[in-house]
């Protein structure tokens, strides 16, 4: 077998390469090596390519004294190729889901299910602090607690979204936003995570789900995926629609799924008294936080990085649902088209891409 593999590697802002890399090896007894069958690209990968996370190179140089690039990606389904001596839950040949969050399972934060703040080297590390899943093989730390066995009949194009998009939307948007039966929900942002919010919120039977986005194509997709109303803030008055739907009250839950000051303001403006604003979007700039207006409304505001503590539950839920989760996959590529997949997702608006599927089975 070849000692190298194809991978998508970040070397610096704007410098993304499809190249041959050494195959990963077991470094710790709790590791597993996974042969990737299906993977996808995340908006976080795009952020890294834009230079949003310079700490990746900085930390690598501090640890090893050199910088050899970072293989991107933190989502995928694959087959266990090899396990460390301490791994007991998995064996070579097992088909597994790779979580975007690695966790030791034993530290104080993991005991609280705050896995995104694992104190023993876990958290979001794949494609960030260590090489990730946009490669033919990946080393997964803490295999026993960070991988999930998956049934053979689970659609891979549904399963791969359980690595990140669906748990993130569900936990940080739906759960933190306290979506409940009969409530009114506003989702600002119809990208992959916003669609993850839209899909998983329907498990809780809200009365109305309003989706706002500047892309009419994505709004049409949102309607097909279960939104009751859509609005384009670049053309229409969001507040007027919210007032019409809610009788002038505002929504019970406003979910910000973009990460911009303007989208934060839409949520803050349209949530009603006693409501919730759940911030899912990754913000790179400060926002105008008008506490002088919000305090009197008894509004709860939440933020967070996904803990992937509902992945197991979602894995069961998606096996018996009519929700059109598979429709998130708008573009499909084979492994030899890895570079084309990156370019398509990099120019998602032009290509009308939601999520790209890269198949290596």
Over pLDDT 70: what percentage of the chain?
A: 100
Q: Which domains does the chain have, with CATH numbers?
A: 4-164+308-359 (3.90.180.10), 168-302 (3.40.50.720)
d(CA 71, CA 269): 40
Output the pTM of the full model.
0.94
- CB 21 within 8 Å of CB 5: yes
* Residue 1 in this model has a pLDDT that exceeds 80: no
- Residue-wise pLDDT for 310-337, tens only, equals 999 999 999 888 899 999 999 999 999 9
Count the Cβ atoms, other than its own, within 10 Å of residue 303: 14
pLDDT tens per residue, range 97-130 = 999 999 999 999 999 999 999 999 999 999 999 9
140 membership: H or E segment, kind and range: strand 137-140
Residue 85 exposed, middle or buried by CB count within 10 Å (0-12, 13-18, 19+): exposed
pLDDT at site 153: 87
| Residue-wise pLDDT tens digits, 170-213 | 999 999 999 999 999 999 999 999 999 999 999 999 999 999 99
**How confident is the model at residue 80, as a pLDDT?**
98
Give the burial string for 202-227 (b: 16+ CB within 10 Å, else e).
Answer: bbbebebbbbbbbbeebbebbeebbb
């Amino acid at each position: 077998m070849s000692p190298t593999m194809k991978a998508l590697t970040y070397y610096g802002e704007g410098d993304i390469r499809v190249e041959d890399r050494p195959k990963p090896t077991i470094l710790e007894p709790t590791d597993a090596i996974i042969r990737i069958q299906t993977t996808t690209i995340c908006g976080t990968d795009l952020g890294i390519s834009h230079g949003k996370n310079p700490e990746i190179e900085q930390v690598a140089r501090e640890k090893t004294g050199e910088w050899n690039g970072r293989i991107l990606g933190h989502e995928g389904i694959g087959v266990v190729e090899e396990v460390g001596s301490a791994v007991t839950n998995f064996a070579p040949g097992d088909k597994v889901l790779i979580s975007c969050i690695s966790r030791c399972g034993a530290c104080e934060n993991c005991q609280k299910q705050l896995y995104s703040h694992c104190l023993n080297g876990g958290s979001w590390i794949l494609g960030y602090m260590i090489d990730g899943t946009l490669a033919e093989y990946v080393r997964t730390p803490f295999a026993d607690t960070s991988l999930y066995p998956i049934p053979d009949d689970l659609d891979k194009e549904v399963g791969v979204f359980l690595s990140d998009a669906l748990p993130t939307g569900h936990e940080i948007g739906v759960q933190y936003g306290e979506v409940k039966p009969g409530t009114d929900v506003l989702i600002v942002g119809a990208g992959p995570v916003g669609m993850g919010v839209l899909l998983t919120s329907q498990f809780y039977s809200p009365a109305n789900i309003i989706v706002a986005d500047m892309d009419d194509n994505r709004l049409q997709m949102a309607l097909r995926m279960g939104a009751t109303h859509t609005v384009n803030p670049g053309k229409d008055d969001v507040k007027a629609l919210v007032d019409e739907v809610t009788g002038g009250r505002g929504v019970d839950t406003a979910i910000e799924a973009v990460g911009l000051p303007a989208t934060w303001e839409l949520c803050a403006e349209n949530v009603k008294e006693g409501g919730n604003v759940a911030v899912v979007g990754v913000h790179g700039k400060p926002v105008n936080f008008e506490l002088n207006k919000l305090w009197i409304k008894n509004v709860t505001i939440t933020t967070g990085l996904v803990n992937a503590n509902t992945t197991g539950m979602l894995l069961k839920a998606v096996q018996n649902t009519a929700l059109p989760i598979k429709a998130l996959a708008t573009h499909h590529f084979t492994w030899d088209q890895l570079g084309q997949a990156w370019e398509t997702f990099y120019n998602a608006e032009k290509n009308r891409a939601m999520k790209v599927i890269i198949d290596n089975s």
